[in-house]
Amino acid sequence: MQSYKTNIATVSKEAMDTSDIEMELLLQAVNLKYGYDFRNYSKAHLKRRINQRLQLSSLNTISELQNKVLWDKSFFRTLLQDLSINVTEMFRDPEFYLAFRKKVVSDLKTYARLKVWHAGCSTGEEVFSLAILLKEEDLLGRTQIYATDFNKNVLESAKLGIYSKKEIDLYAKNYTEAGGKGKLSDYYTSKYGSVLFDKSLTKNIVFADHNLVTDGVFAEVNLIFCRNVLIYFDKYLQNRVLGLFTNSLTKRGFLCIGTKENLRFTDYEHSYSPIDKKMKIYKKLQIT
């Protein structure tokens, strides 16, 4: 119970109301019972998701929710989905993919073999986006992509590569703006309101369970994609994950994070040189 006492001690007694205490206890309970550690996630993110689950479940307090989580494993799985970060779309932020094509691809083409870690891959839309880009640049055949997430349910969805047709117009627009060399429809078949992406895209993709909060270095890689995940972590956890990425990257490897994320004021700010400051594309320095 020492870690719990330490966490509570970091928050002044005056700043903590009853709901804050309840949330700390809930997160501690989830960690002790199920091994998932959300204690260093953004408090704003946690409060928003937990309050939403309270309303949907007709519960009055977080303490009631905690009791249900501890004694009802299926309800815990529901809460796990709530707390997971599953906001994604194909070629999200097209300007980023365009910059990646122009400023990174030429360097990647000098490698005989490439290893890529796509961390926090969620339901896979952005993994397929990267695979399509690499295919169009004649790189997919020599690339091994490791797509990871701690949520096993979203990993299973990612493996299937099946998405709702209602989003496909947005995805096609993003693809074009991202510098796509053909049509997005070249890569999927449409049936019964869904689209199925070509299995050839996943030939070199390994979908694997990995928790950025608790697990260690996943593999030595040349490129890491982890976009729009760090914003859900507090400063301590952001720094911890950036250390994990830095230790996983080869010298002069590339790190791509979200446009609202930053390396500034972290322990690893000086381990990278910016390739595109706006799009948050970085290259690891040879000496770190």
What is the per-residue pLDDT across 234-253, written as a single tens digit (0 to 9) for each? 999 999 999 999 999 999 99
164-193 pLDDT, tens per residue? 999 999 999 999 999 999 999 999 999 999
From the list 37, 41, 64, the residue with the least C-alpha distance to 53 is 64
Judgement on whether residues 168 and 236 belong to the same structural domain of the protein:
yes
Judgement on whether residues 9 and 128 belong to the same structural domain of the protein:
no
pLDDT band of residue 85 (cuts 50, 70, 90) is confident
Q: What is the mean pLDDT of residues 143-172?
A: 95
CATH at residue 215: 3.40.50.150
Strand locations in the chain, DSSP E?
114-119, 143-149, 162-164, 188-191, 194-197, 205-209, 221-226, 249-257, 272-276, 281-284
The answer to whether the beta carbons of residues 257 and 85 sit under 8 Å apart is: no
Phi and psi torsions of 93, nearest 5°: 60, 70
Question: Is residue 182 situated within a structural domain?
Answer: yes
4-50 pLDDT, tens per residue? 444 544 444 445 688 899 999 999 999 999 999 999 999 999 999 99
Q: Note the pLDDT of residue 236.
A: 94
Q: Note the pLDDT of residue 7.
A: 52
Judgement on whether residues 78 and 108 belong to the same structural domain of the protein:
no
Q: Note the pLDDT of residue 11.
A: 46
Q: Note the pLDDT of residue 16.
A: 63
From the list 253, 238, 257, 256, the residue with the least C-alpha distance to 288 is 253
| Pairing mode, strands 188-191 and 143-149 | unpaired
Domain stops at, among 83, 104, 136: 83
Question: Is residue 195 situated within a structural domain?
Answer: yes
Structural domain of residue 9, as residue ranges? 2-83
Q: Which residues pair with 194 in a beta bridge?
A: 164, 191
Question: Is residue 89 situated within a structural domain?
Answer: no
Q: What is the total residue count of the chain?
A: 288
